[in-house]
């Protein structure tokens, strides 16, 4: 692919195209630059006869997003007219339920679109109109005045230019960092300005920068430039960098093309060698080659959003990078499409009619087949309580509106890649054990029973206790806000936490009779044969006390907070008319109720 792009660039220059039309995007590939309105088109008009002009290239990536944004802007007048008609209907008392539903739906979509394309305040006003129409079944003079005031403020907001949009500058910290050590300030500044559009951020250092400062914020790649006067000092620096940062690739930029210098740099194991003069495009192309590409074959993403503008925008962002995108505009079709599509990742909007993003996320997490499916939530609500709700529902990450294109692509592809690596590691471990997943009785991470063996054990105990007419209790527990814990620390630290929790639970049961199994990412089931509901409650209390004793810090919540569990408890005397699946369903419902009450609590529902 790289050679083809180089050949295409040479042909364009040979044909008289002096402007650079193709740019390299960090870790993603290549794309067309958005053509300026003037010079290029004028030159093409002069070079080609009227009847031989070529049609414009269809926009890709950010160009297509700009097209979606223009379509949205063009639709604003029509959308506002829907709200104005609602006001007129309310004033004459002719506002029926069908029109109410239509206006609520339009206000909801308008809020999403405004948030996406840079009208944050307008999004809040449209959301307020939606909530007003939803919550007030009867409209009096006070409610009508409130509606009029919100609509007037909304009109003022959209008459102004958007503050930022989907193609705004990515947030610092999201993009990989390139550390540039070069005395050429003009060249460094040109790199800094061009970096964001390639999904990178640049930090400038000089020869006096101490190594400990680099350690505090380690970059993804280091660019070191040197000339004849600074060669000895920079080669010494390269040696130190190799010792201190062996995993960070280093790109060297030399003033002279000398074989002995190339050999010296090659002996140090540097990543790439460039010779001045060079362009910023050539530098970024070399950086892209040093770092592995996250492009993932056959990556499938399922997007659920009732707003067609959002669906079109998100699809336009992801498709240029080879992602197969399935869009679901009706949340009621969610489960059917999920089963038929088998996506690698879910992208959910939070606020939708009928079924919201929280509910759909919980549905995914309660199914063992999709318990580990990555779920990213797109939301305009970034308050602490909203974020906690997102993670409590089982989402892996949230993406705030307005959406930043490079951030969305990076997060989606990185999450899919990480999940596939985890699955590959699990397959390798299972192959080493020479067993299939259905035969695996032990969860490899926590060393408690696997969910496959859990089903077998529950079936055995259910059938045994039908004849014995004795109680069978089931406890389902999960770690409160565990996704936020992973987000704050890392997945490796999260795995250590899971192991500690699993060991602690095992210490609170009778291993000769009871069973502890890992049933989801951070979920455990405890099977208690021949145990009454009172005794099951005592087990829960022992576990709560033992977990509290661990004092595992959870700083992403509040200061001095620690890891806690929530529990769903149920039990019954098994009968032939029911099965252990009824037990699981009831315990799950109890767990959801406990989660709704807050952290570190339990709920008991008898079967």
Residues found in the chain: 607
What are the residue ranges of helices labelled H in 92-119?
Answer: 97-116
How much is the pLDDT for 73?
Answer: 82
pLDDT at 165: 47
Phi, psi values for residue 154, rounded to 5°? -65, -45
Same fold for the pair 177-290 and 300-427: yes
- The CA distance from 30 to 104, in Å, is 41
* More confident position, 66 or 25: 66
Note the helical H segments in 434-559.
Answer: 451-468, 482-488, 491-506, 533-550
> 557 and 388 in contact (C-beta within 8 Å)?
yes
* Residue 318: band (very low, low, confident or very high) from pLDDT cuts 50, 70, 90: confident
Give the pLDDT mean for 77-87: 88
Q: Coil, strand or helix: which one is 75?
A: helix
Q: Classify 443 as helix, strand or coil.
A: coil
Residue 540's pLDDT is what? 95
Instruction: Round to whole Å and give the CA distance between 4 and 344.
Output: 30
Domains in the chain: boundaries: 73-158, 177-290, 300-427, 438-604
| CB-CB contact of 204 with 175 (8 Å) | no
Right CATH for 300-427 from 3.40.190.170, 2.60.40.10, 3.40.50.2300, 3.40.1480.10: 3.40.50.2300
Predicted TM-score (pTM) of this structure = 0.45
8-state DSSP, 473: E
Query: Could you tell me whether strands 221-226 and 300-304 are parallel, antiparallel, or unpaired per DSSP bridges?
Result: unpaired
Tell me: pLDDT of 27 over 50.
no
Tally Cβ neighbours within 10 Å of residue 423.
11
Which whole number is the average pLDDT over 512-541?
A: 94
Topology classification of domain 438-604: Alpha-Beta Plaits (3.30.70)
The predicted structure's pLDDT at residue 337: 94
How far, in Å, CA of 240 to CA of 208, rounded? 14
For 466-518, the pLDDT digits (tens) are: 999 999 999 999 998 888 888 777 778 889 999 999 999 999 999 999 999 99
- Reported as a pLDDT band with limits 50, 70 and 90, residue 9 is low
CATH 3.40.50.410 assigned to domain 177-290? The reply is no
Residue 580's CB: how many other CB atoms inside 10 A? Answer: 21
The DSSP secondary structure of 239-257, one letter per residue, reads HHHHHH-TTS-EEEEESS-
Query: Which helix (DSSP H) or strand (DSSP E) does residue 569 occupy?
Result: strand 565-572
CB 513 within 8 A of CB 439: no
Strands 375-379 and 397-400: parallel
């Amino acid at each position: 692919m790289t050679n083809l792009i180089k050949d295409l660039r040479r042909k364009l220059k040979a044909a008289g195209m002096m402007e650079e039309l193709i740019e390299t995007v960090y870790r993603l590939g290549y794309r067309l630059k958005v053509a300026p309105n003037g010079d290029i088109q004028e030159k093409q008009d002069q070079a080609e006869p009227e009847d031989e002009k070529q049609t414009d290239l269809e926009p890709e990536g950010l160009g297509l997003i700009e097209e979606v944004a223009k379509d949205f802007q063009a639709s604003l007048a029509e959308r506002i007219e829907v709200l104005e008609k609602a006001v007129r209907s309310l004033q004459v008392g002719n506002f029926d339920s069908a029109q109410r539903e239509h206006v609520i739906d339009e206000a909801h979509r308008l809020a999403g679109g405004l948030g996406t394309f840079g009208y944050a305040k307008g999004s809040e006003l449209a959301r307020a109109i939606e909530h007003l129409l939803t919550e007030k079944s009867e409209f009096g003079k006070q409610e009508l005045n409130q509606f009029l005031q919100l609509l007037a403020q909304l009109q003022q907001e959209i008459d102004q230019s958007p503050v930022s949009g989907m193609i705004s500058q990515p947030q610092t910290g999201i993009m990989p960092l390139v550390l540039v050590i070069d005395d050429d300030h003009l060249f460094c500044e040109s790199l800094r300005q061009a970096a964001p559009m390639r999904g990178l951020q640049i930090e400038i250092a000089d020869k006096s920068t101490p190594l400990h400062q680099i350690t505090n914020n380690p970059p993804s790649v280091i660019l070191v430039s040197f000339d004849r006067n600074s060669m000895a000092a920079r080669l010494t620096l390269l040696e130190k960098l190799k010792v201190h940062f062996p995993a960070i690739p280093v790109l060297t930029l030399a003033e002279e093309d000398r074989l002995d210098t190339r050999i010296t740099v090659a002996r140090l194991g540097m990543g790439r060698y460039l010779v001045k003069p060079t362009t910023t495009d050539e530098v970024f192309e070399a950086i892209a080659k040093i770092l592995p590409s996250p492009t993932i074959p056959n990556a499938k993403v399922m997007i659920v959003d009732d707003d067609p503008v959002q669906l079109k925008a998100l699809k336009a962002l992801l498709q240029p990078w080879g992602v197969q995108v399935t869009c679901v505009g009706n949340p009621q079709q969610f489960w059917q499409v999920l089963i038929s599509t088998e996506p690698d990742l879910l992208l959910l909007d939070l606020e939708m009619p009928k079924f919201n993003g929280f509910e759909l996320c919980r549905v995914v997490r309660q199914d063992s087949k999709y318990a580990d499916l990555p779920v990213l939530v797109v939301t305009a609500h970034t308050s602490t309580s909203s974020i906690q709700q997102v993670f409590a529902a089982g989402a892996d990450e949230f993406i705030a509106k307005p959406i930043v294109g490079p951030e969305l692509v990076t997060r989606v592809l990185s999450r899919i890649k990480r999940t596939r690596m985890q699955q590959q590691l699990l397959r390798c471990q299972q192959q080493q054990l020479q067993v299939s997943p259905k035969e695996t009785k032990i969860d490899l991470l926590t060393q408690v029973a696997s969910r496959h063996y859990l089903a077998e054990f529950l079936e055995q105990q259910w059938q045994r206790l039908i004849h014995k007419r004795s109680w069978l209790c089931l406890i389902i527990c999960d770690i409160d806000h565990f996704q936020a814990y992973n987000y704050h620390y890392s997945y490796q630290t999260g795995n250590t936490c899971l192991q500690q929790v699993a060991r602690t639970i095992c210490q609170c049961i009778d291993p000769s009779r009871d069973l502890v199994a890992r049933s989801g990412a951070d979920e455990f089931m405890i099977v208690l044969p021949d145990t009454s509901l009172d005794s099951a409650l005592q087990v829960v209390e022992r576990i709560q006390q033992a977990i509290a004793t661990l004092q595992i810090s959870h700083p992403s919540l509040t200061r001095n907070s620690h890891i806690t569990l929530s529990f769903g408890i149920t039990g019954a005397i098994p009968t032939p008319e029911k099965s252990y699946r009824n037990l699981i369903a009831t315990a799950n419902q109890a767990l959801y109720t406990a989660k709704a009450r807050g952290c570190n609590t339990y709920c008991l529902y008898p079967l």
